[in-house]
Amino acid sequence: MWFVKNGARVTITDMPEDQGTRKGWNNTNQWASSVASAFRPGIVDRKIFEANVDFAAVDMNKIPQDLLKNEFDFIWSCGSLEHVGSADRAEAFIKNSLKCLKPGGIAVHTTEFTVSSLNFTLEIGNLVTFSKTRMDSLVQDVRRLGYESEDIDYRGGTDPVDQHIDIQPYRGDNHLKLAGYGLVIHTSIGIIIRAPM
């Protein structure tokens, strides 16, 4: 909605309804099934939002060909690619999604990141948390495909909220790092990729 407020025309995507229901996302207030369900008041006027937003149900493992035509100035996925089924599928999604970009377009993908190990990529159920080793390998892969991507900044921050590790039962407020699945400490991380001109 922030992008629309600042003049962008946006195509919102989320998983098809049958998947959203089967996986329980329809009960979390984190899943959209239409333009109307994606709207949140207080950021942009509803009429402006509805006039500048399209919606498409998309399986991230099978991006429709009509989106892979190098027509988008930018793409952004936020906390979704870690739920596509495996680390390999998540990496495949990132690489496939780049076919959506115009020359010079920008992709920003955020995902779960394992803080407690350089090499351990957690894959459990429908969740992946990437290791530093795997993220560095991904950056090299997209560069080999001809895209630009800076080295990832792994600094963890020094403020108290950066140092706090939340444990179950999670407080749910102001936590950036969580401990779960044994002793795995994870947080969010982002990769920024630019398509060649």
Query: What domain count does the chain have?
Result: 1
Considering the domain boundaries, does residue 2 fall inside one? no
| Burial bucket for residue 160 (CB in 10 Å: 0-12, 13-18, 19+) | exposed
**Closest to 95 (Cα-Cα) out of 155, 18, 168, 149:** 149
pLDDT averaged per 10 residues, the chain (length 197): 92 84 71 86 93 94 95 94 93 97 98 93 90 96 97 91 88 82 88 97
Considering the domain boundaries, does residue 187 fall inside one? yes
Considering the domain boundaries, does residue 164 fall inside one? yes
The string of pLDDT tens digits covering residues 138-183 is: 999 999 999 999 999 999 889 988 988 998 888 767 789 989 887 7
C-alpha torsion 50→66→62→127, nearest 10: -30
Considering the domain boundaries, does residue 48 fall inside one? no
Considering the domain boundaries, does residue 185 fall inside one? yes
Considering the domain boundaries, does residue 152 fall inside one? yes
CB of 75 closer than 8 Å to CB of 168:
no
Q: Say which residues have a Cβ less than 8 Å from residue 3's Cβ, sequence separation at least 6.
A: 10
Rounded to whole angstroms, how far apart are CA atoms 69 and 109?
Answer: 19
- Looking up residue 102, the CATH number of its domain turns out to be 3.40.50
Entry pTM: 0.90
Considering the domain boundaries, does residue 43 fall inside one? no
Considering the domain boundaries, does residue 88 fall inside one? yes
Rounded to whole angstroms, how far apart are CA atoms 148 and 44?
Answer: 32
Domain membership of residue 117 as a residue range? 58-194
